[in-house]
Amino acid sequence: MKPWQGWLLAWIVTAAAGAGWLAQQRLQALHEAFTTNARVAHRLLSQQMVQHDAILATLALLQPPLTADASANAVTSELARLYPQILGVAQHRPDQPWPAHWPATLSTLEQQSRASGHAHMDTSQLAQGTLFLVQAGAPSSYALQLHLPATVPAEEWPYPASRSPVRIWLTQGEQTLILQAGEAEATTDGWAWTQTKTLASPSQALDLHERYKLHARLLPWWPMLAWAALCALVLAGLRAAWQQRTARLRAEQLLQHGHVARLNTLGELAAGMAHELNQPLTAILSNSQAARRLLDDTEPDLDAARQAMAQAAEQAKRASGVVGRLRRLVERPNTTAHTQQLSLQHAVNDALYLLEAELRKHQIQVQHVVPAPLLPLQIDPVALQQILHNLLVNALQAMDKIPPAERRLEIEQAQQGPWVYLRVQDNGPGIAPEIRDRLFTPFTTTRSQGLGLGLTLSESLAESMGGHLRLVERAALRGACFELTLPARITAAPTTHAQP
């Protein structure tokens, strides 16, 4: 997975988690409000129904005389003014039947009321909002004609009837009365909260239903979008900080490799100078000693000549000792003393990682071929990184003068027996034939600013680890191809190197 994909996934997870929490808080608040309002609506309607029972019980106890006009009775008794839902009040005496337009079931309900002691209801017209309630008494029985929508107390009702999304209705058997229609989609299928409770009245045991249809528009979209934007900004800042930190660490590692390269180059240079100076100094010493022996046979001022030659010999010995100490000082330590087990593929990946910015800047396409898992190496990781760094930098610089679209770098790893191979080939102009034979000779370079010590140093490091570095011919690309050969699982550098 690419780094930007990881950051994108982190943003998606963080934004989704925060948006989910905001949505959950919003829905929880809505659900708590709906549950509370449902309880309030049930309590208010139950109180209204209980009042009907109380009115009928009072009439049956006091036995007031009423006329045959039920509607007029409601007005004259002022019940219609106090309770707008009461449309009519009827009295049933042996000489006065129930009103003709009222349901024929009232006589049956009267008998049931006389047996149970409480009122009974007729719900045959419930769908039209009308309910008849009968209470048996002696000598007269009484009944109420109720308009149920008017039982909803507007001032105390928890739902704004004109704009509430909640649908509320009463049911009894197959009869249904809509008290509050709610929004247009309240009856459609989907996710919804519902409450169903029976009204707390023994005579009017109607089921109260409430339904709240949920929609995506109920979610807090603006806070959720603001959270997503905030997450994007924070993660963008973290990503920028991480990239800066990564770039700083990469630069520090490149500086470290460059420092190691300069120290090793200085060692190679000092060792070469010591080797070159030691021979003439030794010749001076030998010639001075011979001159002293020859001068021993001469007559003129032999003591002075002998003393001068002795001083020359002493100075020559001293110079030789200084050069020897300089060579020992700058000589590289034994690479086998700092070896550890390392995967060649891992080392190549680290080297490519350090040069990622340069490769991207020069628009170089890298093809890394690893046909099969390779045996691990027991080598000095710093020395191997120095070799890889030199090879990759040389390949990168060799392609400076060709078009960016043609810049390709191929890295191939292979294994044959106990040997592990690494081949680095560029698509540059290649190595000129006149310098191929002295390519690994110190101070041989094709660049104006080069010292000509990188390949020499890399070859020395490879040989110190029991391996070999050479220029090979391959037809994959037109540029130079260098092959690094290392033995697998080295425990100590061999004294002699056999070509694989």
Q: What is the CATH number of domain 222-331?
A: 1.10.287.130
Q: What is the pLDDT of residue 491?
A: 45
CA distance 17 to 33: 24
Cα–Cα–Cα angle for 117, 122, 123, rounded to 5 degrees: 135
Percentage of residues in the chain with pLDDT exceeding 70?
77
Same fold, 222-331 and 337-487: no
Q: What is the pLDDT of residue 270?
A: 60
Q: Which residue has the higher pLDDT, 309 or 131?
A: 131
Q: Parallel, antiparallel, or unpaired: how do β-strands 207-213 and 175-180 relate?
A: unpaired
In the chain, where are the structural domains located?
3-94+101-217, 222-331, 337-487
483 neighbors 462 (Cβ within 8 angstroms): no
Chain segment 413-422, per-residue pLDDT in tens: 888 888 888 9
- Among 153-167, 290-304, 340-354, the minimum mean pLDDT is found in 290-304
CA distance 266 to 312: 30
* Helix (H), strand (E), coil (C) string for 210-277: EEEECCHHHCCHHHHHHHHHHHHHHHHHHHHHHHHHHHHHHHHHHHHHHHHHHHHHHHHHHHHHHHHH
Beta bridge mates, 212: 193
116, pLDDT greater than 70: yes
The tokens describing 245, both together, are 């930190």
- Least Cα distance to 34 among 185, 166, 153 occurs for 166
CA distance 24 to 26: 5
Chain segment 236-275, per-residue pLDDT in tens: 999 888 888 887 777 677 666 655 655 665 565 565 555 5
Residues 387-401: what's their mean pLDDT?
85
Q: What is the pLDDT of residue 311?
A: 61
Percentage of residues in the chain with pLDDT exceeding 90?
24
Q: What is the pLDDT of residue 87?
A: 92
Other C-beta atoms lying within 10 Å of the C-beta of residue 422: 24
CA distance 2 to 4: 6
Chain segment 338-347, per-residue pLDDT in tens: 678 888 888 8
- Among 60-64, 196-200, 211-215, 316-320, the minimum mean pLDDT is found in 316-320
Beta bridge mates, 177: 170
Model confidence at 369, pLDDT cuts 50, 70, 90, reads confident
Q: Parallel, antiparallel, or unpaired: how do β-strands 130-135 and 120-122 relate?
A: antiparallel
DSSP-derived 3-state class of residue 424: strand
Q: Parallel, antiparallel, or unpaired: how do β-strands 408-416 and 365-369 relate?
A: parallel
CA distance 450 to 280: 29
480 neighbors 425 (Cβ within 8 angstroms): yes
DSSP-derived 3-state class of residue 466: coil
291, pLDDT greater than 90: no
Q: Parallel, antiparallel, or unpaired: how do β-strands 340-342 and 167-172 relate?
A: unpaired
DSSP 8-state symbol, 470? E
Query: Would you tell me the crossing angle of helices 344-354 and 221-295 to the nearest 10 degrees?
Result: 100
Q: What is the pLDDT of residue 500?
A: 40
Chain segment 158-187, per-residue pLDDT in tens: 888 677 889 999 999 889 999 888 887 777
278, pLDDT greater than 60: no
Q: What is the pLDDT of residue 333?
A: 47
Q: What is the pLDDT of residue 13?
A: 92
Q: What is the pLDDT of residue 265?
A: 56
Model confidence at 17, pLDDT cuts 50, 70, 90, reads very high
406 neighbors 427 (Cβ within 8 angstroms): yes
DSSP 8-state symbol, 69? -
- Among 227-231, 301-305, 355-359, the minimum mean pLDDT is found in 301-305
Q: What is the pLDDT of residue 298?
A: 57
Cα–Cα distance list, 455 to 119, 268, 459 (Å): 111, 11, 6
Q: What is the pLDDT of residue 464?
A: 81
272 neighbors 442 (Cβ within 8 angstroms): yes
38, pLDDT greater than 70: yes
Average pLDDT of the chain to the nearest whole number: 80
- Among 200-209, 229-238, 300-309, 481-490, the minimum mean pLDDT is found in 300-309
Model confidence at 330, pLDDT cuts 50, 70, 90, reads very low
393, pLDDT greater than 50: yes
Q: 337-487 is classed in which CATH architecture?
A: 2-Layer Sandwich (3.30)
- Least Cα distance to 386 among 500, 253, 499, 250 occurs for 253
φ, ψ at 90 (rounded to 5°): -120, 150
111 neighbors 119 (Cβ within 8 angstroms): no
- Among 113-117, 142-146, 158-162, the minimum mean pLDDT is found in 158-162
DSSP 8-state symbol, 332? P
Model confidence at 329, pLDDT cuts 50, 70, 90, reads very low
